[in-house]
Amino acid sequence: MLNSLFSTQRRLRKAGIPALAQAAPSPWRQAWQRLKRNRLAMLCLALLAVMALWCVLGPLWSPWRNDATDALMINKAPSAAHWLGTDFLGRDIYTRLLLAGRISLIVGLLTMLLSVTLGYLLGALSGYVGGVTDKLIMRFADLVMTIPSLPLLIVMGAMLSELDFSADARVYMVIIMLSLLEWPKLARLVRGQILSLRERDFMQATKVLGLSARRRLFGHLLPNTVPILVVMATMAVANAILSESALSYLGLGVVPPTPSWGNMMDAANSLIDFQRRPWLWMPPGVAILLTVIAINVLGDGLRDALDPKMQRRIK
């Protein structure tokens, strides 16, 4: 018995075939390896991480508070004391920029979580169950998508202003509004993926093996829609930040004294401030631009890394 085993191993070594094959890395590790090769995506990931950390920890080290006003320092240009200048109440722009980043990023992330969860579950249910359930969900999604989002957001924001919510409560109401308008796009894409995947050979094999519907859906169908989910999730974050900024710029989103990048750019409404005091609106504008571009580029990199068709590039 032992002589036969040793002779078999010798033959395998001579043939150049390992006796025990190396365990292949997990799909998530393979995706991470592919993502690390995308330098631009990794740069954007590092930029977003630094920006988030900066917004969380930066105000703790700032000598100025968000609500600290100074009548002698109104609309002052950037200086050693105030790196980004002061606003019309003498508040430090740098500190407010970091605090506003917290609000804008929280709005983007929470909107993404709510819209992706709702759209993912409804899209999967619609594509897998079909029939009347599919028709009801998709017709409702079509109805939401036919309404122009920005005018609807303006109307909803105006109604929100009439209800007289507190400044903190308005943040959560804006998140809910944006989530209700974002989920139909993801639901339709997930439904299309489910309809395509459920007819593939591997899904037919799960039926032959007698797997339960829950295991077929959550164990085989939904994991294959992860690439499109990641891309849509990143786009949802970027869209939420832009939509919140637009609403706050119009005074219908996050309202003072709670700062956000959108309501900080409200200073651009004045021609004098726009021309002569660019430090009031350029920092939040640059922050929005960099954040949205970084999120979109990172989303493209994650899509390529999670796409199974990219596995042939791994050596």
Per-residue pLDDT reduced to its tens digit, 179-225: 888 888 888 888 888 888 877 777 778 777 777 777 777 777 777 78
Read off φ and ψ for residue 84, nearest 5 degrees: -115, 15
Read off φ and ψ for residue 92, nearest 5 degrees: -75, 120
Q: Residue 92's beta-bridge partner residues?
A: 86
Cα 146 from Cα 178, distance rounded (Å): 15
Cα 129 from Cα 270, distance rounded (Å): 54
pLDDT of residue 10: 55
pLDDT of residue 21: 44
Q: Within 10 A of 27 (CB to CB), how many other CB atoms are there?
A: 13
Tokens of residue 120, six digits: 């993912």
Average pLDDT of the chain is 81
pLDDT of residue 23: 54
Tokens of residue 17, six digits: 């075939």
**What is the pTM for the complete model shown?**
0.81
pLDDT of residue 309: 58
Residues 92/62, Cβ–Cβ less than 8 Å: yes
Q: In 3D, which of 271, 253, 272, 274 has the Cα closest to residue 262?
A: 253
Per-residue pLDDT reduced to its tens digit, 280-300: 889 999 999 999 999 989 988
User: Which positions of the chain have pLDDT values less than 70?
Assistant: 1-27, 307-315
Q: Within 10 A of 224 (CB to CB), how many other CB atoms are there?
A: 16
pLDDT of residue 214: 76
